[in-house]
Amino acid sequence: NGNKIVSDDNLTILDLAIQNNIEIPTLCFDNRLNPYGSCFVCVVEVKGARTLIPACATKLREGIEIETNSDKVMASRKTALELILSNHYGDCVAPCKLTCPAGCDIQGYVGLVANKKYDDAIKLIKDTIPLPASIGRVCPKFCEEQCRRQYIEEPVAIDHIKRFVADWDLARTDSYTPSLKPKIGKKVAIVGGGPAGLSAAYYLTQEGVDVEIFEEKNILGGMLYFGIPQYRLPKEVLAKEVETITKLGMKINYGKIFGIDFNIDSLKKDGFDAVILAMGAWKAQNLGIPNETADGVLNGIKFLERVALKQPVDIHGKVAVVGGGNTAFDCARTALRMGASEVVMIYRRTKEEMPANEIEIHEAEEEGIKFQLLTAPLEVTVKKNRVTGLTCKKMKLGDPDASGRRSPMPIDGSDFTEEYNFIIAAIGQGPDYNILGEKRNDLVKDGKRLTINKETFQTTMPFLFAAGDYATGAATVVEALGSGKKAAMSALKFIKGEIVSFKPEFVSTREDLKNMDNEFFKDWDKKQREQIAIVNPEKRKTNFCEIESVFPEEQANKEASRCMECGCIDVYQCQLKKYADDYNAEETNYIGDCNVFKNDDSHRYLFREPSKCILCGRCVRLCSEKTNIGVYGYVKRGFETVVQPSFTIPLAQSDCVSCGVCISGCPVGAIVPKQPDQKKVPLKGQKIDSYCSHCSIGCANTVEVLSNSIYDIYENHPYLCEKGRFHFPQPVQTKETIDISKLSDFKDAIVYPTPSLSAEDYEALKEVSKKMNWKIANYYSQSSLWIAFANLKALPKMDFFKNELKAKSLVVFAGNIEKINPIALNRLTNIIKQDTTIFNINKEETIRLKNLSAKLLKSIDELKKQNLSDFAEIVLVLNPIDFDKTYGKDSSLNLYNYLTQSGIEVRTTLLSEGRNIYSFYDANNIYNESFGKKIYLQTLAGNDGKIEAVLVENGSVKYSFKFALSFQNDGTFLSSKNEYYQNIPLLNKNIGTLKSIFATHYGVDKIEVVKHKNLDKETQINKSAEEVSFPVDGFIKKYSLS
C-alpha cells in the first residue's frame, strides 16, 4: 500500500498484515493451522502476478509490492463473499427482532427468561425499550406476527414474557438502572415528554448528555398516560416506569407550550447543542360532516384525556363511536365503563380491515359493544344544537387504496338514521405543524409531513431532530420508542461533531435463499401457547381495573422455552457477517440452488447447523491435527459436499471429546456452544481475560460474563478441554455476614481446605490455625510422591509445558491424564517429533493417545519389560493422586523411582485435579482422623454438596458460611506449568475471600507467598510417611466429567 516494511521472509503476506494492523479479511485462516487457502476472501494484488493471490498462503520475498485494498481486490473479495453467502442458509437474527420497530433483541430476552436470568433479561430489553412494562401491555405485537412458531401451533407470547420480566423488575427495591457515562459538556432539549421524548432522554442521559424535557402538561407519558385507558395500562405502572427514566438526572420543565413559551430559536439561543421535537400527534381529524360541532359530539382524544385526568365526563344512553383503530376502541370501551347503556362502533369497511389490534376487537365484542360495519356517517342530526342521532350510508368495498385496504364505495339509496345520545369521533389524529410558526414551510416541505431523514430522523435544520408521531404521523408506542432512540443517537453524533449517517446492517435470512418447507418445522414438538388470565367480560366492563394478568414465573419460563431460537448464536462473532457488512455484500446476487441439511442437536455441548457451513475446513483440520480425534470429514462431492462426522452419524455418537476447538475454528456459526437445559441466547457480555478454574494446568481463557453469571468461555490459550470450555462454575452471589463467634469458639479442630485456595488464602489459614490450634490436613497428602517432594521442599523439573522434546525422547503419560488433565495432550501434539515414543500407563486405552501411536502399558510391571536404554530423555507426565488411586498407594513414587534410576535424564511434570498445587509443600504434615471437630473449606462431608465452609462437631453441622470460589479470588496460584500467576477475578468481586475474612476478624493482614524451587536433577527419593485420605473436593465433584 505504498509503505516500505522490513520483515521476516518466513512470514506470509497475511502474517505481515496482522503484525502491522492492516486488515485483510479471511475465513479459512486459523493461526493454529498451516495455511489452506480455501475461501479466497484474503486475496491481494501483487505487482507482476497475473492474478490476485491469497495472502494467507503466499510467503514474502525481497521487493514484493502488495496492494491490499485496490478496487480490483475489493471487488474480488465482494464476489467471493457473495458466492459464499449464496449457499449459507441461516438467519443472522430472528424474524421477531427484524420486525420490531425498536429493534429489541426478542430472542435474547425470551431465552434469558427461559433460563431464569431475569437481571440480564431486563437489561437487554432496556437497551432498546425503556418502558417495557407499559409496552408489555399495549404493544401491537408486530414480532408475534412474524414468529415462526405459528407454523407449528401458535406464536410465542412474546409480549406477555416481556411484561413478566418488566413487572418483576418494577417490583424490586433495586430495579435496573443503567450506568451513566461521564458528562461530555453538551446539552440537548427534548420537546415533549411522551414515549418518544422519554426514550430519547433515557439514551442521551446514559451517554453523558445534559437533557432537558419541555412538556406542555403537568404529567409525563404523553399518549401513554392520556390516550390509553387504565384498564389497559394502569397509571401507577406508567408512573413507576417514567420514574426509572427521570431519576437518571434530566431536567423536566412542565407547563411549557411550544410556540408560546419557547420555540426552536429560543432553545438555540439558550445554548442547546441540539433539539429533538417529540410533540406527538394530538390534532384530531374532523368527521367532515354537518353539525359535528354540536353538543354531544366528542373528540375521542379529548374524551380519553378527561377520563385520564378524572375530570367530570357526562356520558350516558346510546353512544356511537366513529372509527376502527385502537383509539376508537379505547373510546368505546371507556364509554361503556363510564355508564353508556349501549355502544355502537361505526366503521366504513369490514372488521377484517379494522386497523385496531385483534385483541381489542375481540375483547370489545366480548363486552357487548356492537358494530355497524360498511357504514359511513353523513350528518349529525340535532335538536337545538344537541345531538339526537346520526345519518349514515351503507358502503361496499372497491379496489385497495394507498393503505393497502380496499376502498369503501357508497351504495346509492342506502341512507338511514339512528338515534344516539353521544357521538365520539375517533377516525384518526396527526401532528400539529402549525405550531412551528414561520419555520413550518422549511421543515414541512410537502405541506403534509415533517421533512426528515427516515433513518437518522434529522430534519432540514442540522441541529434539529424529530421523533415519534411528530416525525412519522400517528403510529404505535413501540415505533415512538424506537424512533426516540434513533433520533437520540443521531443527535449524539451531531453534538460530538461526527457525521450523522446510517449504514444498513447486513442480515442474512433463510427465506432470501430458499422458502422454508414443512420439513423444517418437524423437528419441534407441539407445545401449546400459555394463556394469561383475563377478567370475565361482565365483571370487567363495569370498572377500570386492569383486565389482563401477568404470567406467573413458572408459566413465563414455560412459554419462553417455546422459542425456536431462530437467530444465530454466533451473530456477534461471525466473521462472515462482519465482512459482508464491510464489503456491502448481497446474499442474493448469485441466487441459485441452496443446500439445506438437517441440524444436529444430539451433543450435550455442541449444536451443529451444517446448512451454514462454508466448507473452510478449519473444524476438520483442528479436530484431526490438534486434538487427534478426526471426528469431522467431507461427505459427498461437488456442490452437495457437507462436513459431517464419519458415516454422517450424530455428533453425540462420535469420538468427540467436547473440547470445543471446532467452535472456535468455525467462522460462521455452523458449530456453536450450548448448555444442557438452557436456551441458546446470542448476547454481548463483558469479556474478561482470566484463567481456567478447574485443574492445575492453569489455561488462560477469555470469559464472557453477564450481570451475575458466566455466559461463555473462549480459548485464550489456544485450547481448552471439556471442563474448561463448558463446565461453567456458578459464583457465590452475595457477601455473607459471618458470625465470627461461631468460628472463634471452634478451637482444636482439623481443617480440610480445598486445593484450589489461593496462596494468600492458604497462608492466612495457616496463621489463624496457630491461634485456634487447628491442624491443616493437606489434599496432596493422598500421594506418597507429593509427600516426598514436600520433604524436599522442592518440585521436579515441571517443564513439560515450556521445553521442547529432544530427539529420541520417551514420553510417559501415567494415569488417566486424557480425562483429568487433557490439555497435556494438546501440548504433546504440538511438540511431538517423528522419533518420539509415547507410553500410556493406564488401565485402558484412550483414543487421543491411541491416535498418537502411544503404547498402552497396563501396569508398572509392563513398563519394566521395556528397553529404555535408547532414549535420550524420559519425560514423565503424572497425576500422582489419580495414579495412586488407580494402582494403589506408593504407585506414583515407585514409578518415579524406577524411571530416575534408569540412568537417563528424567524431566517430571506433576498434575493435579485441583487448581492450585501451591500447598503441596505441606503434604508431609500428616494428621489422623481422631479430631472431634472438623472444618471443611469447600470440601464435601455431609453438607449436602454445598461448596462452602462447614463446621462439624461429632458428625453434626454446627455452622456454615460461604466465601469466594477460586475464580472470584484475586490471589496467587501455582500451576503445573511452574508459573505463579495472579488470578483475574470474575463476578461479584466483593465476595469475601478467606484472606479478607481472616484479616477483618483476626488481624491477619501480612501474608508472604512462598516461592518453591525446582530440583536441578531428578533422582530417587525415599518414602517418609503413609498416604492419608482426604474428603472429596466440592468444586472438583460438582464440575467433574460425568
834 and 758 share one domain = no
Closest CA to 692 of 435, 966, 368, 928: 966
Q: What is the CATH number of the domain that holds 402?
A: 3.50.50.60
- Same domain for 252 and 269, yes or no, is yes
Query: Looking at residue 404, what is its pLDDT?
Result: 79
Dihedral of CA 780/781/787/790: which sign? Answer: positive
**753-810 tens-digit pLDDT:** 999 999 999 999 999 999 999 999 999 999 999 999 999 999 999 999 999 999 999 9
Q: Residue 160 sits in a domain of what CATH number?
A: 1.10.1060.10
pLDDT exceeds 90 at position 941: no
d(CA 611, CA 635): 13
Which tens digit of pLDDT belongs to each residue from 269-293? Answer: 999 999 999 999 999 999 999 999 9
Residue 893 φ/ψ region, left for φ over 0, alpha for ψ in the -120 to 50 degree band, beta for the rest: alpha
Tens digit of each residue's pLDDT (9 = 90 or more) over 526-548 = 999 999 999 999 999 999 999 99
Q: Are residues 359 and 257 in the same domain?
A: no
Return the C-alpha cell found at 113: 427468561
In three state form, how does the secondary structure of 917-963 look?
CHHHHHCCCCCCCCCCEEEEECEECCCCCCCCEEEEECCEEEEEECC
Domain count, the chain: 6
C-alpha cell at 31: 493461526
Residue 535 belongs to some domain of the structure: no
In which region does residue 984 sit, left (phi positive, over 0), alpha (psi from -120 to 50) or beta (all else)? beta
Of 910, 939, 973, the one marking the end of a domain is 910
With respect to residue 619, please indicate whether it lies within any of the assigned structural domains: yes
- Identify whether residues 290 and 420 lie together within a single domain: yes
Beta carbons of 812 and 879 less than 8 angstroms apart? no
The answer as to whether 250 is a domain residue is: yes
Identify whether residues 748 and 831 lie together within a single domain: no
Strongest mean pLDDT among 614-618, 705-709, 727-731, 738-742: 614-618
Encode burial over 52-85: b for 16+ CB neighbours within 10 A, e otherwise. bbbbbbbebeeebebebeeeebeebbbbbbbbbb
Instruction: Give tens-digit pLDDT for 391-444.
Output: 999 999 998 887 777 889 999 999 999 999 999 999 999 999 999 999 999 999
Q: What is the CA radius of gyration of the chain?
A: 36
Going by their DSSP bridges, the two strands 464-466 and 340-346 should be labelled as unpaired
1042 has pLDDT over 60: no
* CB hemisphere CA count around 129 (13 angstroms): 28
| pLDDT tens profile 304-334 | 999 999 999 999 999 999 999 999 999 999 9
CA 926 to chain CA centroid, Å, is: 48
User: Cell numbers at residue 909, please?
Assistant: 511434570
User: Looking at the structure, do residues 378 and 392 belong to the same domain, yes or no?
Assistant: yes
Residues 227 and 123 in one domain: no
Quick: pLDDT tens for 673-684: 998 889 989 999
Mean of pLDDT values over 915-921: 97
Give mean pLDDT, residues 350-372. 95
420 with 307, same domain: the answer is: yes
Whether 291 and 419 share a structural domain: yes
Return the pLDDT at 943.
64
Share of the chain above pLDDT 70, in %: 99
- Minimal CA–CA distance to 451: which of 263, 462, 279? 462
Is 986 a domain residue? yes
Residue 815 sits in a domain whose CATH number is 3.40.50.1380
Output the pLDDT for position 781.
96
> Is residue 730 assigned to a domain?
no
266 and 221 belong to one structural domain:
yes
Angle ∠(1014,1017,1018) on CA atoms, nearest 5: 90
Show which of 910, 945, 971 is a domain's final residue: 910
Give the pLDDT confidence of 621-640 residue by residue, as tens digits.
999 999 999 999 999 999 99
The mean pLDDT of 76-105, rounded to a whole number, is: 97
Q: Which three cell numbers stand for residue 1038?
A: 460438582
Pairwise pLDDT comparison (409 vs 1025), residue with the higher score: 409
Please give the residue range of the domain that contains residue 871.
794-910
Nearest CA among 952, 667, 874, 850 for reference residue 85: 667
Which range is least confidently modeled, 357-361, 391-395, 514-518?
514-518
Domain membership of residue 720 (yes or no) is: no
Pairing outcome for strands 53-54 and 43-46: antiparallel
- Do 388 and 366 fall into the same domain? yes
Tell whether the model's pLDDT for residue 988 goes beyond 80: no
What pLDDT score does 942 carry? 60
Helix orientation angle between 477-495 and 195-206, rounded to the nearest 10 degrees: 40
Q: What's the pLDDT tens digit per position in 835-859?
A: 999 999 999 999 999 999 999 999 9
pLDDT of 739 above 60: yes
What pLDDT was estimated at residue 845?
94
Boundary residue ending a domain (650, 673, 696):
673
> φ, ψ for residue 864 (rounded to 5)?
-65, -15
- d(CA 1036, CA 845) in angstroms, rounded, equals 24
Burial (Cβ within 10 Å: 0-12, 13-18, ≥19) of residue 35:
buried
User: Mind spelling out the 3-state secondary structure of 572-602?
Assistant: CCCHHHHHHHHCCCCCCCCCCCCCCCCCECC
The sign of the CA dihedral 792, 798, 804, 807 is positive
β-pairing, 283-284 vs 429-430, is antiparallel
pLDDT digits (tens, 9 = 90+) for 798-811: 999 999 999 999 99
Q: Name residue 691's beta-bridge partners.
A: 700
User: Does 691 reside within a domain?
Assistant: no
766 and 846 belong to one structural domain = no
Amino acid present at 798 = M
pLDDT confidence bin for 737, thresholds 50/70/90:
confident
> Is 719 within a domain?
no
